[in-house]
Chain A
């Protein structure tokens, strides 16, 4: 009986999560300027880096290539995810409040942001390698890392965006609160990425991947438990 109850609740949560994701996609499609803005931001940052280093393709040191790529990804992530809570008006929150539970909102937004980050990361990677060259030897590991990185950025920054949206100077706060929280993950990501560039075997990055997943689980659990307190107004 109790089990049935849990299953029913899970179904309810699941369907509302799916609905919210659908809603986010529709809104994103209707207001294409937001996603276009992020894309343009991504492309122009890469182009600025290309011009300021004044390099021809394939002459950037692998370490510099690696650091630059992840710094660009970090800033794109902060800008892309910041809008997930900061752009919503107070009134819309009241409307959401009557429609679905806080927990399904944070799950849906996190999943949606992970997908968004993945798209941006892959696009960024393609453009970046075309313009600045591609020194990676273990492409498969790099792609796995890209997926993990998108999920990590989304897990940590979605919650931070929700916190920052409550304050007045939310854009600055987003960066201040976000950087230190994302840094441990970023260190792991950069290390795995360096291993992929050097063409090392998977076993060399195994420990880092496990740590990254573990940190993600801690952060995700904390967000899931804490978000309802944040939302209650």
Chain B
């Protein structure tokens, strides 16, 4: 991933998403109105979070297999950026909720589930902080990371579908496959997911390089 082309691509895609996201035509729907543009900025945050956490999970598994210290740095940095995406997802979601549901936080199952999900990963960083020995820190936090991901799956994908929610895509509200995601929205939405995810990977690789340099300097 040391080549430059994908970084240029990220910048291009994100410019397109921001300009296109604000200026292109969107379907006129009741209540949603212009807030439907949150689809380009709020939903990709969750996609980004899941992708980052999945990459982090992959590196944690790799660490348990090979005990390579680089894997631990990668796992923790991808988890870091995943949490940033999660926080941005909650904040953008709250803005959207303020305009459509009328409240910043209305205790919707989706809101609660994402807040719990963030707590799980914040606990991961507390765990990392409280272990002294480097090798032990890497191994135990890798174990917790895998365990946390297993706990996150039911939280994000199963539980919100069991309870009534006002969130688009559940409880009979229009979601991904219904009329509101028509082809005009897709034109920006799919690039948005790719663009934000690539940006996440970019930030993570930069931070991994910084961590590697720091480690080399301290040794």
Contact = CB atoms under 8 A, between A and B. Distances in A.
Interface stretch (A38-46, A92-100, A162-170, A196-204): A162-170
Contact of A176 (B126, B147, B150, B154): B126
Interface residues of B, number: 29
Nearest to A176: B123
B119 interface: yes
B148 interface: yes
Given A166-B131, A229-B64, A230-B139, A159 B120 contact: no
Contacts of B143: 163, 226, 229-230
Interface string B115-132: 011011001001100111
A208 B162 contact: yes
B151 interface: yes
**In this complex, which of B113, B116, B146, B150 has the most chain A Cβ atoms within 10 angstroms of its Cβ?**
B150
A214 B132 contact: no
Interface size on A, as a range, is 20 to 34
B151 A163 contact: no
A173 B122 CA distance: 12
B155 A163 contact: no
B166 interface: no
A222 interface: yes
Nearest to B113: A184
A130 interface: no
Contact of B127 (A163, A214, A218): A163
Interface of B: 64, 113, 116-117, 119-120, 123, 126-127, 130-132, 136, 139-140, 142-144, 146-148, 150-151, 153-155, 158-159, 162
21 contacts: A160-B147, A163-B143, A163-B147, A166-B131, A166-B136, A168-B131, A173-B127, A173-B130, A180-B120, A184-B113, A184-B151, A184-B154, A187-B159, A208-B162, A211-B154, A219-B150, A222-B150, A229-B139, A229-B142, A230-B139, A230-B140
